[in-house]
Amino acid sequence: MASKVQVPKFSLHHDFNDGFDFDGHVVDPTFSRWNMEEDDVAGQLKDDSFKKRVEVLEQLIITVKRNGGRLPYADGESIFRSLALALSDSNWEIRTKCIQLLLEIIPNLGDDIDSYMSLVLNKMLASIGDSKVTVRRMVIQALHAYMKYTHNLPAIFEALVNTGLENENLSVRREMVNSLPVILTQEFITHDMSKIINSLAKKLLDTSTEGNLRDSSLLTLNKIESMVGERSFSDYFSKLTVPLQKYYLQLSGKRDDGYYNETDNDYYQRGNNNMHQGITNDSRRGYIEDTLEFGLIPSHILSRINDQKDFRTRAQAVEELKSIIISKSNEISTSLLPHMNLFISFLSNLLDDANFKIINVTLEIILNLVEKLDKTAKNFLKQLTSALLKRMGDNKIVIRQLVMSIIIKLMRATSPQAVIDVIEDNLQHRNSRVRQETINFIIAALLTFPSYEFDLPAICQAVGPTLTDVKRAVRQAALECFATLAQGMGSGQLQPLVSAVDQVELSTDGEGLMAAVQARLARKQLPKLTSDGLVEYATQTPSSATVRSSSAQQSADTEWIMAVASTARSARSDSIELESVSMSARSTPVVTEVSAPTPAPRRFMSAGRGRNKLPWEEDRDERGGFYNTLPNSAPIQTFPEDAPPKPRQIWVGEVDTQQRPSAPERQSPKRRTTVVMLAAQEEPDNGSYTQMYQQKLRRQQAPAARVVRPE
């Protein structure tokens, strides 16, 4: 694309340079009119062809350059709306061309700059997290140019915070934090940056292992401080909450250096109105050192919690934090409440810790916090459940028990339906454990609270799609939930439940779903809560091996759960299952017709099941190898097949007292022949060492063979 010679394919109108281009050459009057309408430009920018999209942007760039940096339209609103779409294009070259065009036209937008740029500003800021360095660099250049020509700089600062620093995308947040020292140059230091500094200061409390912006935020704050000066920065600093002030001083190493001594009186008068007028500077400095984080927690505890080098120090500090939350009651609703959102975010970051003990104690802190908040917890329901989401699918039972306890306590403090309305979004979570555990929360609520506290039809609609989940555990949980819902609705009032199942069965490939739900309801069994607070299902799903080994007919609900077979391995298991069922009723192998279009895969039977010898031993027996004749145990006696002899339970020399048949019916004893004697006539001696060895063994065992003859 770079090797192309950019020649405009559309005529353009020069009203701005009096017949001269940028190089001073005379422009041909016949090549002086742009005939492409705004709608045509918008249409090409939306075209599926990459070539057309990039072509129209290239022509616009050339036209703008020839027109003195101005668009060839009186009203450019439609063009800017089209550029906003181009900034979201999946191809990075389109985004680059779009930003390049903005760089050309921003200096010449005049009084309309803010109205036009408001259409593309958020899209442009989001592109700062682009994976391409070229795109990121051009975004910074365009943003800096816009800040120089704008008439509403506070609106741009607000967009930097809302769309940049507080963006949901981690890449956007990280790049914005790193780019602020470049964007905020000396010409902007006289404008209010309090929102930017406050957002950066909040990121100092980020202790998550993934996406930790604490160090980069601290570096950016230090650069802003050096740019605006200590006196101006102290004004911004005083507007922060006390925990953020203290933590910034601690991280920046300025806590013990007499920070802001020149503005000490003003600083403490503004930030700490409750202090006495007559205290000395040393007393004030001591007060700062004893300031509580989040209005309740000593600063040294937070400092130790953020110690990433020693997990033992962190674990002990979290235990101390738990003790503070347990021991405080009134302070929770007074001192901590104004900082509650920030404190919950801090606890949420602790749930990302790799240490099990820290996670466990953090959940206990949240449990006690919900208990202390009581009815006030409804104001923080979304934040609390979002934090718990990180541990809903944990594979440790202790963690799941704590999460279940917190959810039930939230339901008691607010209402069960309010909590379900918040957590039901997790039913579409990509982690199947989270989906299953969310259904378990609903089951536990239905078993704990009266049915009139729920919107049962709405729950049926929310849980219904999980009946066709691709995971067996989720399907089973959904069936158990529907059994609990049916019990809450009562007999004769199941129409909402039936409608939800019908809707799922018709909208998805759910043939047999209604029969499965009916079979589950016919069991007339409900799940229950164990002593640990977890949900125990009423029916247990058999394993795949159990189903294959059993020829009994499974119920419709069990078949529905076991029908999930989305892998080739599962399909092969199903074929083996059908084959084993068809062969188990027969004592001899038979040939059966298979109606399937493809043959069943070969069965690989393990040693000891279905065979008594290894494969190479069977082949050797068929070839009549001599190894079968070697004696490795006592001689084997053979009996006629018509009447096997009755075993004698006496020692040699004892009198046989067992009842014998009468003389006429008694058969004459037949001479029993050992295997060794039969094998003696099988092969002639061919003079090999093997045959010589066999003959020697036979001669040695001949007397022993005669001993076993009947008397």
Domain boundary among 201, 223, 249: 249
Residue 73 burial (C-beta neighbours within 10 Å; 0-12, 13-18, 19+):
middle
Report how far residue 378's alpha carbon sits from residue 375's, in angstroms, rounded to the nearest whole number: 6
Q: Answer yes or no: are the C-beta atoms of 297 and 290 closer than 8 Å.
A: no
Residues forming a β-bridge with 297 = 293
**Reported confidence tier of residue 703, pLDDT bands at 50, 70, 90:** low
List, for residues 531-560, the tens digit of each pLDDT value.
Answer: 888 999 998 877 665 555 555 567 888 889
Domain boundary among 231, 249, 267: 249
Look at residues 396, 369, 283, 294 and name the one whose alpha carbon lies nearest to residue 338.
294
Report how far residue 187's alpha carbon sits from residue 626's, in angstroms, rounded to the nearest whole number: 101
Q: Find the length of the chain.
A: 711
Neighbours of 406 (CB within 10 A): 23
Report how far residue 558's alpha carbon sits from residue 554's, in angstroms, rounded to the nearest whole number: 6
Q: Answer yes or no: are the C-beta atoms of 475 and 486 closer than 8 Å.
A: no
The SS3 of residue 673 is coil
Phi first, then psi: what are they for 635, rounded to 5°?
-60, 140
Provide the pLDDT for residue 409.
94
Is pLDDT above 80 for 154?
Answer: yes
Which structure tokens are listed for 436? 């299953």
Report how far residue 304's alpha carbon sits from residue 312's, in angstroms, rounded to the nearest whole number: 10
Report how far residue 566's alpha carbon sits from residue 469's, in angstroms, rounded to the nearest whole number: 11
In this structure, the dihedral spanned by the alpha carbons of residues 530, 533, 537 and 538, taken in order and rounded to 10 degrees, is 40
Report how far residue 504's alpha carbon sits from residue 465's, in angstroms, rounded to the nearest whole number: 6
Tell me the one-letter amino acid at 196: I
**Reported confidence tier of residue 516, pLDDT bands at 50, 70, 90:** very high
**Minimum mean pLDDT among 22-26, 288-292, 499-503: which range?**
22-26
Residues forming a β-bridge with 20 = 26
Across 90-114, average pLDDT: 86
Provide the pLDDT for residue 266.
42
List, for residues 566-605, the tens digit of each pLDDT value.
Answer: 443 444 444 433 333 333 333 333 333 333 344 444 444 4
Provide the pLDDT for residue 208.
62
Look at residues 480, 509, 484 and name the one whose alpha carbon lies nearest to residue 494.
484
Which residues 6+ apart lie within 8 Å of 147 measured at CB?
Answer: 153, 156, 183, 188
Provide the pLDDT for residue 2.
43
The SS3 of residue 504 is helix
More confident residue, 160 or 593: 160
Provide the pLDDT for residue 104.
87
Q: How far is CA 310 from CA 77, 208, 314, in A?
A: 57, 15, 7
The count of domains in the chain is 3
Is pLDDT above 90 for 286?
Answer: no
In this structure, the answer to whether residues 676 and 576 fall within a common structural domain is: no
In this structure, the answer to whether residues 69 and 204 fall within a common structural domain is: yes
Q: Where are the alpha helices (DSSP H) in 150-297?
A: 153-159, 170-183, 194-202, 214-228, 230-238, 242-252, 264-271, 281-289
**Minimum mean pLDDT among 72-76, 253-257, 392-396, 399-403: which range?**
253-257
Report how far residue 305's alpha carbon sits from residue 6's, in angstroms, rounded to the nearest whole number: 59
Q: How far is CA 250 from CA 260, 304, 306, in A?
A: 14, 12, 12
Residue 115 in any domain: the answer is yes
Q: How many CA atoms lie within 13 A of 403 on its CB side?
A: 25
Residue where the block lists tokens 């164990």: 530
Q: Answer yes or no: are the C-beta atoms of 109 and 117 closer than 8 Å.
A: yes
Report how far residue 615's alpha carbon sits from residue 606's, in angstroms, rounded to the nearest whole number: 11
Which residues 6+ apart lie within 8 Å of 521 measured at CB?
Answer: 482, 483, 486
Report how far residue 421's alpha carbon sits from residue 312's, in angstroms, rounded to the nearest whole number: 39
List, for residues 331-343, the tens digit of each pLDDT value.
Answer: 787 888 888 988 9
Residue 168 in any domain: the answer is yes
Consecutive H or E run containing 401: helix 397-413
Neighbours of 44 (CB within 10 A): 19
Residue 419 burial (C-beta neighbours within 10 Å; 0-12, 13-18, 19+):
buried
Look at residues 256, 183, 279 and name the one whose alpha carbon lies nearest to residue 224.
183
Tell me the one-letter amino acid at 148: K
How big is the chain by its Cα radius of gyration, in Å? 42
Is pLDDT above 50 for 181?
Answer: yes
Q: How many helices (H) and strands (E) does the chain have?
A: 34, 4
Residue 418 in any domain: the answer is no
**Reported confidence tier of residue 11, pLDDT bands at 50, 70, 90:** very low
Across 658-680, average pLDDT: 46
Q: Answer yes or no: are the C-beta atoms of 195 and 158 closer than 8 Å.
A: yes
Neighbours of 152 (CB within 10 A): 13
Q: What angle do CA 142, 222, 195 make, to 5 degrees?
A: 60
Neighbours of 402 (CB within 10 A): 23
In this structure, the answer to whether residues 112 and 177 fall within a common structural domain is: yes
**Minimum mean pLDDT among 33-37, 433-437, 521-525, 699-703: which range?**
33-37
In this structure, the answer to whether residues 633 and 553 fall within a common structural domain is: no
More confident residue, 295 or 269: 295
Domain boundary among 224, 249, 274: 249
Provide the pLDDT for residue 130.
87
- Taken in order 66, 67, 72, 76, is the CA torsion positive or negative? positive
Residue 432 burial (C-beta neighbours within 10 Å; 0-12, 13-18, 19+):
middle
**Reported confidence tier of residue 663, pLDDT bands at 50, 70, 90:** very low
Q: Answer yes or no: are the C-beta atoms of 243 and 295 closer than 8 Å.
A: yes
CATH code for position 160: 1.25.10.10
**Minimum mean pLDDT among 78-82, 592-596, 635-639, 678-682: which range?**
592-596
In this structure, the answer to whether residues 674 and 572 fall within a common structural domain is: no
**Reported confidence tier of residue 5, pLDDT bands at 50, 70, 90:** very low
Report how far residue 20's alpha carbon sits from residue 13's, in angstroms, rounded to the nearest whole number: 12
Provide the pLDDT for residue 697.
82
Residue 682 in any domain: the answer is yes
Percentage above 70 pLDDT, the chain: 67
Report how far residue 410's alpha carbon sits from residue 540's, in angstroms, rounded to the nearest whole number: 30
Residue where the block lists tokens 């409390």: 205
More confident residue, 425 or 248: 425
List, for residues 496-505, the tens digit of each pLDDT value.
Answer: 999 999 999 9
Residue 271 in any domain: the answer is no
In this structure, the answer to whether residues 155 and 215 fall within a common structural domain is: yes
In this structure, the answer to whether residues 48 and 155 fall within a common structural domain is: yes
In this structure, the answer to whether residues 554 and 680 fall within a common structural domain is: no
Is pLDDT above 90 for 519?
Answer: yes
In this structure, the answer to whether residues 684 and 572 fall within a common structural domain is: no
Look at residues 270, 267, 258 and name the one whose alpha carbon lies nearest to residue 234.
267
Report how far residue 438's alpha carbon sits from residue 459's, in angstroms, rounded to the nearest whole number: 12
Owning domain of residue 562: 545-581
Provide the pLDDT for residue 515.
93
In this structure, the answer to whether residues 558 and 695 fall within a common structural domain is: no
DSSP, residue by residue, 257-321: TTTTGGGHHHHHHHH-TTS-TT--HHHHHHHHHTPEETTTEEHHHHHHHT--S-HHHHHHHHHHH
In this structure, the answer to whether residues 574 and 674 fall within a common structural domain is: no
Residue 573 in any domain: the answer is yes
Residue where the block lists tokens 């609900």: 557
In this structure, the answer to whether residues 555 and 689 fall within a common structural domain is: no
Report how far residue 318's alpha carbon sits from residue 358's, in angstroms, rounded to the nearest whole number: 7
Is pLDDT above 90 for 611?
Answer: no
List, for residues 209-263, the tens digit of each pLDDT value.
Answer: 556 788 888 888 888 888 888 888 888 888 887 777 877 887 777 754 444 443 3
Percentage above 90 pLDDT, the chain: 24
More confident residue, 476 or 300: 476
Report how far residue 537's alpha carbon sits from residue 484's, in angstroms, rounded to the nearest whole number: 11
Residue 204 in any domain: the answer is yes
**Average pLDDT, rounded, for the chain:** 74
List, for residues 294-328, the tens digit of each pLDDT value.
Answer: 888 888 888 888 887 788 888 999 999 999 898 88
Residue 69 region by backbone torsions, left for phi larger than 0, else alpha for psi between -120 and 50, else beta: left
More confident residue, 15 or 35: 35
Across 162-187, average pLDDT: 87
Residue 401 in any domain: the answer is no
Provide the pLDDT for residue 25.
40
Q: Confirm whether pTM is higher than 0.85.
A: no
